[in-house]
Amino acid sequence: MSTKKNIKEIMSKRYIQIGILIVLISLVGLMGTYAWFTWKSSSNTNVTLSIGNLADVTFTSGPDINISNLAPVYNYTDGVSTTFVMKNNSTTNNLNYEIKLDVTSISNELKSESFKYTLLKDNKVVQTGNLKNAVNGKTLTLNTGLLAKGSTSNYKLYFWIDGNIENSSSMMNKSLVGMIDVGEKTTYINNLYNNSTKTPVTNNSITYQYDTKNNLMQDTAGNIRYYGASPNNYIYFNCDSYPSTNCELWRIIGVFDGKIKLMRNKSIGDMAYDDDRHDTYLQQLTSNDNNSAVKMLQYDNDSEVTAKLLAVPDSGDGQNDYSSSSLQKILNNYYYNKLNYTGTITYDFTNTGIKNDTTRNMIAETTWNLGGWDTSNIYSNVMYEKERGTTVISNPSDGITRTTTWTGKIALAYPSDYGFATDLSKCSQTLSNYDSSTDSYACRNNDWMYSIITNSGSGYGWLLTPSSSDAYVAFNVNSDGYVGSHNDVINYVYIEYGVAPVLYLGSDQDIVAGDGSQSNPYKLTGN
């Protein structure tokens, strides 16, 4: 007789009870709410997890689930389950959580595609998987997710034997013993920062905690960022194969909502923020007072700007809504897919674009904030809030409705990213004064992004945030180091400035090797 039995045969002869002992141990005590404290199992094994006071977890069904008889079923709802409630107490930080099964022991016969789990969040299925790859003494990640700041969600986790496929009779009377582990998903960088000695640094009346050993700091929203002139934040990315075959050098901006944020270590070239409304030919300068390029030259005598304007097309000013800009389309279609772009200007991304599907799949689709402001004469913490605000141009002359968010994969650095990248213990200026000589240019000279965005001070570079006072203006970093935002010619979106792509890695990606130095960059698995 075959060791495989079809579930329909099994069910026709009544259920064969597959005796599986499942001990699912929660992090919290019976019928109570706890803030991630120590809990002792029945075997008196200490389990300690800490997430500060970010979240509470309540297991309403008790700490233990003991099942002696588990039969094949047609639907997960007929399996066994545990329920819990997760509440994010923070009003400023989202919680990147991780639900894991710490496997104490599992019989080989249960390592099957038919032995499944299903997780519901607020009555909606968010994850289904199996225990085929479970290993004694190892942790199996069941789900990762995001719990928004100030929110509460209800979870229900099922374990079940799928009766819609064949199941081996050898599964009978076997057992699984494990522990359900719900906690914050942290990264290598989080752990570096959390385990370091902190130094308080006050800037704009706000005290930040600096990790001076690793050049890491925590901003006002709880994000972990690299700062300083030359932090060890190099990482291999866009590789032929991972972790380190024919890779590009990128830089880690920091960790945001559990995801690592990267910037390419070099610009991919000068491009307009938006040139969709331009003709394809270059403007010829004349003495005609109505000539747009002549008019614009009247505003600025800067030789670099003048050189740029000599090549300005003759019609249209472009627009500063990144979601519909030509730059967004170029980065997320042509650069992302390693294609040639032929528009008002031709760009060849066959050598500089994203190389393969492995890398593309590592990039997280992310909601980017497009809130604007009318000045850069503010500090980084204030700019961070403005970027996440809803201030946009009201009734713009171009008739384009501005959005406050855009969801996609590749964008640019925020002005606040550039601002926080400096050493705030040495820089006391607003973003508009990062070129100040009063502190010996400490802001730009201690900002690792400056050389990337401006090509070592030889040019300007685009930032993501639009102006809220002029439909044709976006923020940028001037070659001298300050963040420009005024409604003058040097900030018009149709001018070509440097572009350094910025993206987030998926929450499943983390560092597996390297020390972050330029000679030994961090490495990713790429899986």
Core vs surface per residue 181-201: b (16+ CB within 10 A) or e: bbbbbbbbbbebbeeeeeeeb
Per-position pLDDT tens, the chain of length 527:
333 333 333 333 223 333 444 443 333 322 222 222 222 223 333 233 334 445 677 656 544 444 555 678 889 998 888 787 888 877 766 777 888 887 888 888 888 888 899 999 999 998 899 988 888 888 888 887 778 888 889 988 888 888 888 877 788 777 787 777 777 777 899 989 988 999 999 999 999 999 999 999 999 888 999 999 999 999 999 999 999 999 999 999 999 988 899 999 999 999 999 986 443 323 333 333 333 333 333 334 444 443 443 333 333 568 999 999 999 999 999 999 999 998 777 899 999 999 999 999 999 999 999 999 999 999 999 999 999 999 998 778 778 888 999 999 999 999 999 999 999 999 999 999 999 998 899 999 999 999 999 999 999 999 999 999 989 899 999 999 999 987 666 788 999 999 999 999 988 788 999 999 999 999 998 87
pTM over 0.85: no
Q: What six digits make up the tokens of 238?
A: 């866009």
Contact assessment for residue 125 and residue 116, using Cβ atoms and an 8 Å cutoff: no
Residue 423's pLDDT is 98
Give domain limits for the chain.
4-185, 190-264+505-524, 270-501
CA atoms within 13 A on the CB side of 137: 0
SS3 176: strand
Residue 325's pLDDT is 93
Domain at 4-185, CATH from 1.20.58, 2.60.40, 1.10.10, 2.60.120:
2.60.120
Name the residue among 139, 161, 352, 323 with its Cα closest to residue 238.
352
Residue 313's pLDDT is 37
Residue 139's pLDDT is 83
Name the residue among 449, 446, 374 with its Cα closest to residue 416.
449
Strand runs labelled E in 336-433: 340-342, 346-348, 366-369, 405-408
Residue 134's pLDDT is 87
The three state secondary structure string of 220-272 is CCCCEEECECCCCCEEEECCCECCCECCEEEEEEEEECCEEEEEECCCCCEEE
DSSP for residue 452: H
Residue 61's pLDDT is 55
Other C-beta atoms closer than 10 Å to the C-beta of 400 total 14
Contacts of 145 (CB under 8 A, 6+ apart): 96, 97, 99, 121, 126
Name the residue among 116, 111, 162 with its Cα closest to residue 132.
111
Contact assessment for residue 26 and residue 180, using Cβ atoms and an 8 Å cutoff: yes
CA 110 to chain centre: 36
The H or E element spanning position 58 is strand 55-59
The H or E element spanning position 202 is strand 199-203
Torsion from C-alpha of 324, 325, 331, 334, nearest 10 degrees: 80
